[in-house]
Structure 1
Amino acid sequence: MYDFSKRISSFHNQHVRLSNDQRADMKRRRETNLDRIEKGLEELEKPAFKETINQGGYAQKTMTQPPESDQESRYDIDLGIVFNQDDANGPRTTRDWVRQAIARKATNMKNDPVTKKKCVRVVYADGYQCDFPVFRRRWTDVGWRYELSSGDEWVASDPAAMNQWIEREVSWKSPETSGSYQLRRIIRFGKFFSKTHAARLKRSFPGGLVATALFIECYTADDGRDDRSFRETLRSLSQRSKYTPVFANGVQVSDDKDTDRIGRLIDQAKDSVKELDKLDADDITDSDANKIWKTVFRHSFFDDASKNAANSSSAPLETKSALGGAGLAAPFLASKAAAALSDSEKQSRMESAVNARKESGSGGKPWAE
């Protein structure tokens, strides 16, 4: 396959993953609403919540920017609000406490907060969306047990365990042993891909945990080659049945409404794999590769041929981990090639490395804030 890994990496860093500023802005909005809930409950003379649980793409660092064709699509922040069981009322009533608390203290919102089946939702005018699932907890011999307010029922749920499962999958399945993990990048690419074609076709595609679990299930690792890894992940996805349930941490996370959504994603994966397989030809050029990748991600990034100068069909800096069996020659070749880089290229690669470390957290802990 024509090596477009550097170009795909640039696309990921610039247009797929959230920037540090975007994450900071989302964190600020989350904390603002949390303060509203705390003070609003107090003014309403309702019981105070006892803890919060980060969940969803924000907690898992798999959130993406909106597709180019749908800049109004929302950034979702999920933060669980947990009451002690003795303090909570019925599921619907307890959710409404949270809604009332936010409404009492909030200003400058696109709409009033609304109570949904499983959460309280706050939507901002600029596309941000905060969801606050409501839980109750009780102490047992094996620790706290949590139940989610879902409709008129309390349903057993453990979002922290789901976060931990995704953390394990990312670190275990990725070829890297520390730093920025490939599986997380592939999940982001997959969610961006799903959003892009959902906006293009104006049809619903899998999102959230269902999309994340699908790309974990279908992930194909390829050390140093995110472009090839994503193509083979799409190939695996294209070969599954839309009727096969999607599981995450042993729990089925898809239901009947997801069947057609998954089917659309599978169909789009098939079409994209057909296009990407053209990159196996011997006479592919950068221009050809840009056109092919544009059919996949539908982004004007792939129109700018001037950015391709640093990319070539060979990959002199590509190395394999010890698990990949590259032997002792790879570090030597990488060092030799690095020495030939211009100062600007060295600076660019250094900045990319710093960004990767910031993204994954210090000390090789991908979930550190």
Structure 2
Amino acid sequence: MYNFGKQIATFHEDHVRLTNAQRANMRNRRQTNLERIDKGLEELDKPAVIETINQGGYAQKTMTQPPEADQESRYDIDLGVVFEEEDAAGPRTTRGWVRDAIARKATNLKNAPETKKKCVRVIYADGYQCDFPVFRRRWTESGWSYELSSGDEWIVSAPRSMNTWIDQQVSVTSPETSGSYQLRRVIRMGKFFAKIHANRLNRKFPSGLVATALFIEAYVVIDGRDDEAFRETLRAISCRSKYSPVYANGVQVSDDKDIDRIDRLIVEAKTSLEELDKLDDDDATESDARKAWKKVFRHSFFDAVVKETANSVFAPLEKKSVLGGLGLAAPFVASQAAAALSDGERAERMESAVRARNESGGGGKPWSH
């Protein structure tokens, strides 16, 4: 496969992974919502939240930027709120406390907070969504035991175990031993891929934990080549059945509504492979790679010239030297680069160019060949 790994790494870092500013924004949103809940519960004379639990992509470090064509798409934040068992009421009533507390303090909501089966959902006017799963806890001989408010029941839950499982999968399965892990990068690119095509087709694709678990399941390790690892992960997804349940940490996280969503992901994976497999041709070029990856990620990044060389004064001469093609360099750009060289370096460059031209058997004029 044509090696496009460096460019895919740059694309992931600049356009897929959350920027430092975006991550700071997420932290601020989390804190703002927690303060709203605390103050709202106090004003409503309800028991206080005694613990919060980060969940979802924020906690698992798999959140992504929005697609280029959908900059207003929602960011999802999952923040579990925990009450002491003796303070909590029934499951539905306790979720109602949280809903009312948010509604009392938040002024920029797109719609009123909504009580879902397992959480309170809030969609804000500026384009982000918060889910607040509601838990109660009690102390046992083995430590804190948690129960999740689900419908009209409290069900045993281990809210931090999913984060731990994902962290373990990332660190154990990736080829790296520390730092940035390939599997986490593949998960982010996979979730980004699903967002792009969901927006393009205006149809739902796997998201959240289901998407994360799918890309963990399908992950193919290729050390040092994120481009090839992502392609082969798509291939594994293209071969799975849409009816096969998706598991995470031994728990089934998909249900009937996910069958069609998974099918759409499978179809887009197959379509993308038709383009990416063309890069196995020995004659494949960087231009071919950009065109293929553009069809996968639908991003203008792949229209551009390689950005890594933009700051190098030597890049224009290396890209357009007398050894390439017609033996001509772009005079204006080359002169700018040459101006940064010392007299001795310019003389050495000139002598090398002359030697190369003479050894090639031709002059500096294209019609002389």
TM-score (norm 1): 0.82
C-alpha distance after superposition, 1:59-84 (max 9, x if no partner): 00000011112222110010000111
Give SS of 1:159's match. coil
Q: Does 1:101 align with 2:83?
A: no
Q: Determine what percentage of the aligned residue pairs are the same residue.
A: 74
Residue of structure 1 equivalent to 2:130:
130
Cα offset, 1:203, TM superposition: 0.9
C-alpha distance after superposition, 1:144-175 (max 9, x if no partner): 22221122222222120000000000000010
C-alpha distance after superposition, 1:246-294 (max 9, x if no partner): 1100111011111111111111111111211111001111111100001
* Partners of 1:262 and 1:155 in 2: CA distance: 28
Gaps of 5+ in 2: 311-369
Structure with the bigger RCO (C-alpha within 8 Å, sep 6+) is: 1
Residue of structure 1 equivalent to 2:17:
17
* Partners of 2:267 and 2:85 in 1: CA distance: 45
Q: Which amino acid aligns with 1:104?
A: R
Give SS of 2:160's match. helix
* Partners of 2:306 and 2:265 in 1: CA distance: 32
Q: Which amino acid aligns with 1:294?
A: K
Asked whether the 8 Å contact 2:146–2:158 carries over to 1, the reply is: yes
Residue of structure 1 equivalent to 2:147:
147
C-alpha distance after superposition, 1:194-218 (max 9, x if no partner): 1111111111110000000000011
Cα offset, 1:113, TM superposition: 2.2
Asked whether the 8 Å contact 1:287–1:305 carries over to 2, the reply is: no
Give SS of 2:264's match. helix
Cα offset, 1:126, TM superposition: 2.0
Q: Which amino acid aligns with 2:236?
A: S
Mapping for residues 1-40 of structure 1, pairs under 5 Å: 1-40=1-40
Mapping for residues 77-226 of structure 1, pairs under 5 Å: 77-226=77-226
Q: Which one has the largest radius of gyration?
A: 2
Residue of structure 2 equivalent to 1:52:
52
Residue of structure 2 equivalent to 1:317:
none
* Partners of 2:302 and 2:290 in 1: CA distance: 5
* Partners of 1:159 and 1:242 in 2: CA distance: 27
Mean Cα displacement is larger for which, 118-127 or 68-77? 118-127
Asked whether the 8 Å contact 2:17–2:188 carries over to 1, the reply is: yes
* Partners of 1:196 and 1:289 in 2: CA distance: 19
Give SS of 1:131's match. strand
Residue of structure 2 equivalent to 1:235:
235
Give SS of 1:305's match. coil
Q: Which amino acid aligns with 1:283?
A: D
Cα offset, 1:140, TM superposition: 2.4
Asked whether the 8 Å contact 1:148–1:156 carries over to 2, the reply is: yes
Q: Which amino acid aligns with 1:35?
A: E
* Partners of 1:237 and 1:306 in 2: CA distance: 30
Asked whether the 8 Å contact 1:290–1:302 carries over to 2, the reply is: yes
Residue of structure 2 equivalent to 1:285:
285
Cα offset, 1:108, TM superposition: 2.7
Cα offset, 1:308, TM superposition: 7.1
C-alpha distance after superposition, 1:222-259 (max 9, x if no partner): 11110000001111111111111111001110111111
Asked whether the 8 Å contact 1:54–1:79 carries over to 2, the reply is: yes
Q: Which amino acid aligns with 2:199?
A: A
Quick one: structure 1 residues 42 and 308, their matched pair in 2 at CA, closer, same or farther if it must change by over 3 Å?
closer
Give SS of 2:148's match. strand
C-alpha distance after superposition, 1:51-110 (max 9, x if no partner): 111000000000001111222211001000011122111111111101111122222333
Asked whether the 8 Å contact 1:49–1:81 carries over to 2, the reply is: yes
* Partners of 1:49 and 1:36 in 2: CA distance: 11
Q: Does 1:251 align with 2:255?
A: no
Asked whether the 8 Å contact 1:218–1:234 carries over to 2, the reply is: yes
Residue of structure 1 equivalent to 2:276:
276
* Partners of 2:113 and 2:272 in 1: CA distance: 39
Cα offset, 1:189, TM superposition: 0.3
* Partners of 1:24 and 1:71 in 2: CA distance: 18
Cα offset, 1:127, TM superposition: 1.2
Gaps of 5+ in 1: 311-369
Give SS of 1:52's match. strand
Asked whether the 8 Å contact 2:135–2:149 carries over to 1, the reply is: yes
* Partners of 1:68 and 1:159 in 2: CA distance: 33
Asked whether the 8 Å contact 1:286–1:308 carries over to 2, the reply is: no
Asked whether the 8 Å contact 2:7–2:306 carries over to 1, the reply is: no
